[in-house]
Amino acid sequence: MNRPSVRGLGQLLRLHRLRRLVTVRVLSSFGDGAFQGALAGAVLFSPEKAADPMAIAAGFAVLLLPYSIIGPFAGALLDRWDRRRVLIWANVVRCVAVVAVAAQIAADLPWAALFGTALIIMGVGRFVGSGLSASMPHTVADDSLVGANALATTAGAIATAVGGGYAIGMRSVIGDGPHPMAVITASVLVFYALAAVFAARFAARALGPDETDEPAQPVRAVLQGLTSALHHVRQRPAVGVNIVLVMVVRFCFGLCTLTVLLLFQHYFTESEGLLRSGLAGIAEVLGVGAVGLFLGAVVTAPAVRLLGRSRYLVVLLGTTALAVVGFGSQFTMLSTMITTLFVSFAYQSTKVCADTVVQAESGDAFVGRVFALYDTANNLLYVLAFVLGVLILPESGRSVTGVVLVGALLLLSAVGYAVASRRMGPTQADVATGDATVHDPAGSAGHPAPERAAGTTSPAGRPSTG
């Protein structure tokens, strides 16, 4: 398969396979955001069901923990099944499940029943998310993955935020009773259906896998997928280090998320000019977060070319740590918005860079399983952040301890990543983007570029000729 090598947003958007894959991600992510926004409006932020930190954390745990458990199973099967068909049928299943959730909301059933059905949507969504990530190397060349990831990942994240804003905005227009919220929830199926339609436009096997090393029995494939992905990561230190980095930043993102939810629900009780309190304020935070994600898409690729991936991430995380402590500790609406901007930008840039390393260093026969474990670990750390938040955050969300903890973790991440980069030397992602000999922060410029072992596969599933 021809995988074009291009640079720049304009050239990337002219690649029809990449453009179609990004469209599937945007539609699916918009649906996810809208569904989560509708569910939050119906349960967590209902006037009749004012949620405390424990209720909010429980809600996220119920949604994300089983979703994470499904991850390894999704990975093993994504390296076995046609990823195009997975994207189609996963979205079809979500359409049916959304209708069921809408009916439950209309019937004003307890939140436990709603979350039970929501687990289906979130669990099947694991196949969509991992499938989209594993498919990316089949649309562009290795040296274009940074830009392609910046485009696809950020477009999806922005779509999720906008989808949440859509659900919240619709609630302010048509009301927040059971029946209006059911209508908003039901509308989500349109986006999942469109995602399935666009996925169907790919040719069979166009998104991989090109080859598999899975056993014939599905159960055995799942069990071997867990161990083989871990073994694959252990053999590639760069993959493990970047996954751990994203896990830590994701943990910080989760703790900040719970803090912001509590602040706007209990602490910011009055509006400040254009800045609103309550659910309207949450919508504004989503907008600011989307801006941070967009800026991450614009800045990451050129910044990596200028500074090198490792140096850029070290500077970014260190700067974000200072911003979190400086602005986050003020506990005003404006300072909270600024902190949100920094944290969303940092998370997005870190994720884009790490995704590129994982894709470049993992063979196509393993990349689905590796990404499934990667996403699973991220969600587990996100939930753990909420669990810790329940223990250290007051109901108002105003906690200097929480702010300092996030800042310290980000700073330690920057230092740890700098040390790890020095020891590892350049990666395949650095070679592809031309950073292997001039931008390594550890002074490993003279080290030869790492090569794949003979007989391994490149990210596109092609035998390595090196």
Question: CA-to-CA distance for 128 and 75, rounded, in angstroms?
Answer: 11
Quote the Cα angle for 225-30-361, to 5°. Answer: 35
pTM comes to 0.71
Question: CA-to-CA distance for 359 and 149, rounded, in angstroms?
Answer: 10
Tens digits of per-residue pLDDT, 217-250?
655 766 677 788 888 888 899 999 999 999 999 9
Nearest CA among 71, 126, 117 for reference residue 96: 117
The mean pLDDT of 423-427, rounded to a whole number, is: 77
Q: Which pLDDT belongs to residue 157?
A: 84
Q: First-to-last CA distance in the chain?
A: 19
Q: Which pLDDT belongs to residue 463?
A: 30
What is the residue type of 54? M
Residue 193 is encoded by which pair of tokens?
């259906």
The mean pLDDT of 376-396, rounded to a whole number, is: 89
Does 1.20.1250.20 match the CATH number of domain 9-203+227-433?
A: yes
Residue 23 is encoded by which pair of tokens?
């469209």
Q: How confident is the model at residue 126 (pLDDT cuts 50, 70, 90)?
A: confident
Nearest CA among 170, 142, 226, 135 for reference residue 38: 170
Nearest CA among 360, 355, 362 for reference residue 313: 355
Residue 161 is encoded by which pair of tokens?
């935020």
The mean pLDDT of 341-350, rounded to a whole number, is: 96
Question: CA-to-CA distance for 324 and 326, rounded, in angstroms?
Answer: 6
Q: What percent of the chain has pLDDT over 90?
A: 45
Tens digits of per-residue pLDDT, 430-448?
655 556 533 343 333 333 3
Q: How confident is the model at residue 425 (pLDDT cuts 50, 70, 90)?
A: confident
356 contacts 149 by C-beta, under 8 angstroms: yes
Residue 398 is encoded by which pair of tokens?
């105003």
Report DSSP state, residue 396: T
Q: Which pLDDT belongs to residue 45?
A: 66
User: Virtual CA dihedral for 40, 44, 46, 49, nearest 10 degrees?
Assistant: 160
The mean pLDDT of 389-394, rounded to a whole number, is: 91
The mean pLDDT of 79-100, rounded to a whole number, is: 93
Owner of token pair 């398969």:
1
Domain boundaries, the chain: 9-203+227-433
Owner of token pair 């993992």:
362
Q: Which pLDDT belongs to residue 46?
A: 66
Helix pair 333-361, 309-328: axis angle to 10 deg? 160
Question: CA-to-CA distance for 354 and 358, rounded, in angstroms?
Answer: 6
> In Å, what is the CA distance from 421 to each residue of 146, 194, 437?
18, 42, 13
Whether the per-residue pLDDT at 167 is higher than 80: the answer is yes
Whether the per-residue pLDDT at 44 is higher than 80: the answer is no
369 contacts 264 by C-beta, under 8 angstroms: no
Sorted by sequence, the CB contacts under 8 Å of residue 49 that are 6+ apart come out as: 43, 55, 111
Following DSSP, what letter does each residue of 285-299 receive, concatenated? HHHHHHHHHHHHHHH
> Which is more confidently placed, 449 or 307?
307
Nearest CA among 98, 103, 91 for reference residue 118: 98
Whether the per-residue pLDDT at 212 is higher than 70: the answer is no
Tens digits of per-residue pLDDT, 179-191?
999 999 999 999 9
Q: Which pLDDT belongs to residue 359?
A: 87
Tens digits of per-residue pLDDT, 1-39?
567 777 777 888 889 999 999 999 999 999 999 998 888
Whether the per-residue pLDDT at 41 is higher than 90: the answer is no
350 contacts 304 by C-beta, under 8 angstroms: no
Whether the per-residue pLDDT at 293 is higher than 70: the answer is yes
Of 69-73, 332-336, 357-361, minimum mean pLDDT range: 69-73
- Per-chain mean pLDDT for the chain: 83
Residue 413 is encoded by which pair of tokens?
């991440």
33 contacts 167 by C-beta, under 8 angstroms: yes
